[in-house]
Amino acid sequence: MKTQKLLLSLLVILLPFYVNAQETNLSRAGTTGIGIDLSSWEGMTFRNSLTTSNSRVGNKSLETFYESVTGVSPYINDTFMPAKVNNFKQIATARYDAYKDLFVVKINESKSLYLEKRLGNRVTFIATKEMYQVFYDEEEKARFFKIEKMTPHFSLLIKQEIVLRGGEKPRSSYDKYVAPFFKRTKDKLYLSLDNRLAVKAPTSKKKFFKLFKDEAGAIKSFVKKNKLNIKEKSDILRILNYYATL
C-alpha cells in the first residue's frame, strides 16, 4: 500500500513536466514547428492540421495515471464523438481533455493526435452542435473555449476546466494521505470583442464597462436602463447584442 501511494505521489509530481513537454506550441509567440497553421496555407490535408511530433496519444504511463486517479474523468466527453475539424469535409471523432486543455482527434482505430492549438482552430461535434475554438487568453496563451455565441462583432465563451487535487505527501503524522482525484471546476464566462482575445467576464461594473472602450458610456446607460446584471449570462448576451449595433 505504501509503495502504491509513493508511486501515485511521484506521478502527480512528474505529470505536469510530462504535459509541458507535450505542449510545445501553446503561446501566441509561435510554435516549435510541430504542426502547421492550416488557416494560412490552402490545400493542406486534414492530417497536417494536427500536431505530429511528440503528441501521439497512447502513452502508457499517462493512461495508467489517468486510470489510477479517482473523481471525474479528465475528459468533458468521456468517449470519442463524431466531429468536424475546421472546414474539412472528413468526419473524425474527438474528445476534449479539459485537464490538459487539449483536443484528442482520432485518425483511425490505432492512432490519435492532438489538434494544433492555433488561433481559430475549431472542433464542432456533429450530434450536439457544440463548438470549441482556440482563442488567446489575457496572458496571450492559446486555449480552447466552448462557444456560446459567435458573431463578426463578438464571442461569448465558456472555459471548462478539470483540475487535479490530492496526492500530496502528508506533512505530519496527523495528516492523512488523500489519493489524487480529478475535479471539475465551475465553468467561467469569457468575452471576446475581436474574436481573437478572450477576457474573463469581470464582476466589477467598472472593469466590465472598461472592456467596451469608446462605447463604455452607451453600454453603461443600456445596462442601467434595462436593469441588467453583468454576472448573468443571459444579460451579458443582451449587452453584447446591443454592443454589436453601435
DSSP 79-134: S-EEEEETT-SSEEEEEEETTTTEEEEEEETTEEEEBP--TT-EEEETTT--EEEE
| 101-131 per-position pLDDT tens digit | 999 888 777 777 888 888 999 999 999 999 9
Q: In what order do the strands lie in the sheet with 162-165?
A: 70-71, 181-184, 162-165
What is the reported pLDDT for 48?
59
What is the reported pLDDT for 155?
97
Residue 222 has pLDDT above 90, yes or no: yes
Of 76 and 64, more confident: 76
Banded model confidence at residue 234, pLDDT cuts 50, 70, 90: very high
Residue 213 has pLDDT above 60, yes or no: yes
Is residue 118 located within the same domain as residue 15? yes
pTM for this entry: 0.78
What is the reported pLDDT for 46?
58
Banded model confidence at residue 26, pLDDT cuts 50, 70, 90: very low
What is the reported pLDDT for 41?
32
Lowest average pLDDT, out of 111-125, 140-154, 202-216, 219-233, goes to 111-125
What is the reported pLDDT for 78?
87
Question: Measured between alpha carbons, how far is 74 from 61 in angstroms, rounded to an integer?
Answer: 15
| 147-183 per-position pLDDT tens digit | 999 999 999 999 999 999 887 777 777 778 778 889 9
Is residue 60 located within the same domain as residue 98? yes
What is the reported pLDDT for 113?
82
Is residue 86 located within the same domain as residue 165? yes
Is residue 121 located within the same domain as residue 9? yes
Question: Measured between alpha carbons, how far is 64 from 11 in angstroms, rounded to an integer?
Answer: 10
Is residue 52 located within the same domain as residue 149? yes
Domain count, the chain: 2
Residue 36 has pLDDT above 50, yes or no: no
Is residue 177 located within the same domain as residue 209? no
What is the reported pLDDT for 157?
98
Provide the residue range defining the domain that includes 219.
204-246
Is residue 6 located within the same domain as residue 119? yes
Which domain-ending residue is among 180, 200, 220?
200
Banded model confidence at residue 194, pLDDT cuts 50, 70, 90: very high
What is the reported pLDDT for 49?
60
What is the reported pLDDT for 69?
84
Is residue 106 located within the same domain as residue 87? yes
Is residue 65 located within the same domain as residue 148? yes
Question: Measured between alpha carbons, how far is 233 from 220 in angstroms, rounded to an integer?
Answer: 17
User: SS3 for 61?
Assistant: helix
Residue 244 has pLDDT above 70, yes or no: yes
Is residue 95 located within the same domain as residue 178? yes
